[in-house]
Chains A and B, each alone.
Chain A
Amino acid sequence: MSDLKITGLHKHYGTYHAVKGIDLEVPSGEFTVLVGPSGCGKSTLLRTIAGLEEASAGTVEIGGQNVTWARPRDRDIAMVFQNYALYPYLNVYENIAFGLRARKVASAQIDKRVKRAADMLGIAQLLQRFPRELSGGQRQRVAIGRAIVRDALLFLFDEPLSNLDAQLRDDMRVEIKRLHQELGRTIIYVTHDQIEAMTLADRIALLRDGRIEQLGTPLDLFERPATRFVAGFLGSPKMNFLPATVEAGEVTLRDGTKLTLPTGRKAPNGQAIILGLRPQHIAKASASAAPGHVQLPSTIELVQPTGSRVQVSMPLGGISITAEFAAHEVTAPGEQVRIDIDMNRAVLIDPQTDKVI
């Protein structure tokens, strides 16, 4: 059974068309991440699911009920906001209990549920404190506590980690993933951070300009992007895009460099394409080329260490591309290297439609 079903959803703000006909079905217990650049409509979509925005057209069903016109409180949802939305005049206990009190749950039951949620999130010792006395991470835990205590059918997260620093963000990401495993609830999670999307999601809906560009598992989107936009949005560092032509199973880059496609790889003959290569699929050659791999000489122009890995810039096909090597494999800019490109995982894009061939 699906906990959420969206059909033909549109949202207009005056003349601005924010959501342009979205269809989405989320099975029970799934962690779905809505990801995309700012202004793509992901937050509007989430807010329409929550009932905080009215749909201009289309339907929203939660737990099999059509809730398109239902009030937020009648939708059996709980939501975590980016800036926590904690009540400064209530202590942590009362903040977590707020939703239960609003729904007239018995005091003994409230106490039990608040304490269980607090234990789960490791904030049991903070129950008597006020939000102003908490750190950002603790506040976000309380905000999550407020949502999970409700035991709703659908959990909505609106960029919950955006206000945290990098270290805390990593910790909280793990925490949210663990909570999802423990609770097994359906979660719709909005973020603009592709790392969050990749690490948390069972399925990602990548939005662009009010539409779902691609829906699938993180690996699907990473390995088999449907469009140039998806290919470029997911993955860090970004995928390299090289203008080229294909002829007889060979890709010719602008400067004449030829890269052989793996045998059996379908490609339009004699047509201009864009070749997409992920930095992770360009390695420093250590042995002879494996099947489907191509090896070329190049010169390192720029080195950006990131710890165990290092991002290197080098020329290929008349432009500067980025590759990712192991840190110990690079010495300095100017170094002559032989690179190994895994053409099995190369992406061919039609420049006319921006769709992956």
Chain B
Amino acid sequence: MKGAPFHRRKETKLVLRYLMAAFLVVIFVFPIYWLFAISFKTPGEIFAFPPVWYPKSIQFNNYAVLFKDGDAKTVGNSLVLSSVSTFFAMIFGTIAAYSLARFKTGGENLGVWIISQRMMPPVAIAFPIFLFYVWLGWVDTYIGLIILYTAFSLPYVIWMMRGYIEEIPLELEESALIDGCNRWEVLWKVVFPMARSGLFATAVFTFVFSWNDFLFALVLTRTEVTTYTVQVTHYFGGQSNFWSKIAAMSVLGTIPVFITVATLQRYLVRGISMGAVKG
């Protein structure tokens, strides 16, 4: 018996493959779409049955409320805490990584010891940190959370940056040292540009880790530096949930990360694959 012609079989296969892909895309993208859609819906549309698949008219009331009540400020808090802590973690982490990579500071195993700090469940130390912060008067302050996020990001930054720095040919640095640079200038003029992709990739992940933190923000903030992750949970009530606020706030919280990843995608892909090649 003869089967379908070869080209026909190939086309069918292709169509099936596309259908499968489309199905998966819908599964993954739908919740995000739904989040965005809710944030633009009126309360009536949110609870309508059968569901309203897309808002009849785009209205920004849900967002306006967040700004009017001052809730949107929490996104600003998250932005400040994550950016500043990422900045410091990258500076200190890269310097430490350079020291580990080039001077074998602390021997071969210090790097492993540092990254092992990352494996500790944060909740295990939340209580001692809280007591310590109460004593220092750092609860609900920018400095408290910035220092904490910086400290928690450092092991990751050191581990990643050490790998990227080790990939830079040593001769490039030696040549710069002979040409008239000191170690700091070598770091600035050779190591940073050479490890640029890795630097951006690491920074993005560090930023996202701090951005997504919920536990410490919950324990260590009250009213002044509440982050958006904590703020969102305020809308889940015992009696009812404020779906419009949850959606609008979640969208606000997603946008900065989305923009960061989208702008630095080029470096992200290169940075991640650099690490991958090294294994």
Contact = CB atoms under 8 A, between A and B. Distances in A.
Interface of A: 50-52, 71-73, 75, 77-79, 81-83, 85, 87-89, 98-99, 102-103, 146, 150
Most B C-beta atoms less than 10 A away, residue of A71, A83, A98, A102: A102
B169 interface: yes
Nearest to B179: A99
A146 B179 contact: yes
Contact of B180 (A52, A81, A103): A103
Given A85-B172, A98-B179, A102-B180, 12 more contacts: A50-B178, A71-B182, A72-B178, A78-B178, A79-B178, A81-B174, A85-B174, A87-B172, A89-B193, A99-B178, A102-B181, A103-B179
Contacts of B174: 50, 52, 72, 79, 81, 85
A79 B181 contact: no
Contact of A71 (B176, B177, B189, B193): B177
A73 B171 contact: no
Interface of B: prevailing SS: helix
Contacts of B172: 85, 87
B190 interface: yes
Minimum-distance CB pairs A-B, first 5:
A99-B179, A102-B180, A85-B175, A85-B171, A103-B180
Nearest to A99: B179
Given A89-B193, A102-B185, A81 B175 contact: yes
A169 B130 CA distance: 67
A110 B196 CA distance: 27
B181 A81 contact: no
Interface of A: prevailing SS: loop
A98 B181 CA distance: 10
Contacts of A79: 174-175, 178
B169 A73 contact: no
15 contacts: A50-B174, A50-B178, A51-B177, A52-B174, A72-B177, A73-B177, A81-B174, A81-B175, A83-B171, A85-B171, A87-B190, A89-B193, A99-B178, A99-B180, A102-B180
Interface in B189-207: 189-190, 193-194, 196
Contacts of B180: 73, 99, 102-103
Given A73-B182, A102-B185, A85 B177 contact: no
Contacts of B171: 81-83, 85
Nearest to A89: B193
Contacts of B193: 87, 89
B175 A102 contact: no
Contacts of A72: 174, 177-178
A73 B181 contact: yes
Contacts of B175: 79, 81, 85, 146
B169 A102 contact: no
A170 B119 CA distance: 57
A85 B169 contact: yes
B181 to A, nearest CB: 5
Contacts of A102: 176, 179-181, 185, 189
B179 A150 contact: yes
Contacts of A78: 178-179
Interface string B108-119: 000000000000
Given A81-B171, A85-B171, A73 B178 contact: yes
A78 B175 CA distance: 8
Contacts of B182: 71, 73
B164 to A, nearest CB: 14
A89 B194 contact: yes
B49 to A, nearest CB: 59
A50 B7 CA distance: 67
Nearest to A47: B174
Contacts of B177: 51-52, 71-73
Contacts of A71: 177, 182
A289 to B, nearest CB: 55
B215 to A, nearest CB: 40
B167 to A, nearest CB: 12
Given A81-B171, A85-B171, A73 B179 contact: yes
